Each structure stands twice: as C-alpha cells, then as structure tokens.
C-alpha cells in the first residue's frame, strides 16, 4: 500500500520496512516487492540478490525475473546458460502465473538454438 500510495500516502521507505518485516516472518511475496523497490531505486545488484532469495524458495516468478536479469545483464553479468536454467525452472514451477509461464516459454524460444538443445 505504501509503495504505490494505494489508500495511504506513498512512502517507499515505510513500504521497504514493512516488506522486510514480512520477509523475516516468512513472506516470500514480500521479497519480490523488496526486489521491485530496489529496481525502482536503480540498485540492480541488490535487486538480483532478493530475486535469488525467493527463487531459492521455489518461486517461479522470481526465476523468470532472474532470467530477464541474466539476459539483460541487469545486476549480474550476462549469461544465457544461467537464463536458460532459470527459464526451465520457472516453466516447471508450481509458483508462477500462467501468463508468466507463457512469457518464460516465449523467452525460451527466443534463446540461441545451440543453448536450448
């Protein structure tokens, strides 16, 4: 709510504080929001680390975001092999929306054919 000003005044610092508190209490979704807040601040390496924390917990959405980072070199060195691994994990994940799964499948088709073999 604080991060987008929905129902409350926008306050990114308060949003970050609350998301971190939720993360410490076991909310994986809050870590995705933390990553997004860091992305908005241009802190791409920190953003990537937060996506990694959620991905390690089995979140397919985070795997998709990590694949995007690997392909763009955003917060991490470009690495198509790592992107391929993330996309395959995302596609097989139970914790990903159907739209995100389709996006991951489309991205997979766009990778170099030598990688996908």
Where along the chain do its domains lie?
A: 12-116
CATH fold for domain 12-116: 1.25.40
Q: Which of the four pLDDT bands, split at 50, 70 and 90, describes residue 2?
A: very low
pLDDT computed for residue 44 by the predictor: 98
**Which of 7-11, 16-20, 26-30, 111-115: highest mean pLDDT?**
16-20
Burial of 22 (0-12, 13-18, 19+ CB in 10 A): middle
Cα angle at 49 between 32 and 18, to 5 degrees?
40
| Mean pLDDT of the residues in the chain | 91
Q: Which of the four pLDDT bands, split at 50, 70 and 90, describes residue 11?
A: confident
DSSP 25-94: TT-HHHHHHHHHHHHHTT-HHHHHHHHHHHHHTT-HHHHHHHHHHHHHTSSS---HHHHHHHHHHHHH-S
pLDDT computed for residue 3 by the predictor: 54
Give me 48's structure tokens.
């990537």
How is residue 11 annotated by DSSP? Answer: -
**pLDDT digits over 53-98, tens only?**
999 999 999 999 999 999 999 999 999 999 999 999 999 999 999 9
């Amino acid at each position: 709510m604080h991060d987008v000003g929905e129902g409350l005044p926008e306050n990114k610092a308060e949003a970050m504080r609350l998301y971190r508190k939720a993360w410490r209490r076991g909310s994986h979704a809050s870590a995705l929001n933390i990553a997004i807040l860091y992305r908005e601040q241009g802190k791409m390496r920190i953003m990537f680390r937060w996506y990694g924390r959620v991905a390690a917990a089995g979140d397919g959405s985070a795997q998709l975001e990590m694949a995007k980072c690997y392909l763009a070199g955003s917060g991490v060195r470009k690495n198509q092999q790592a992107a391929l691994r993330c996309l395959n994990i995302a596609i097989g994940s139970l914790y990903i929306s159907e739209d995100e799964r389709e996006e991951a499948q489309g991205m997979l088709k766009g990778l170099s054919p030598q990688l996908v073999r």
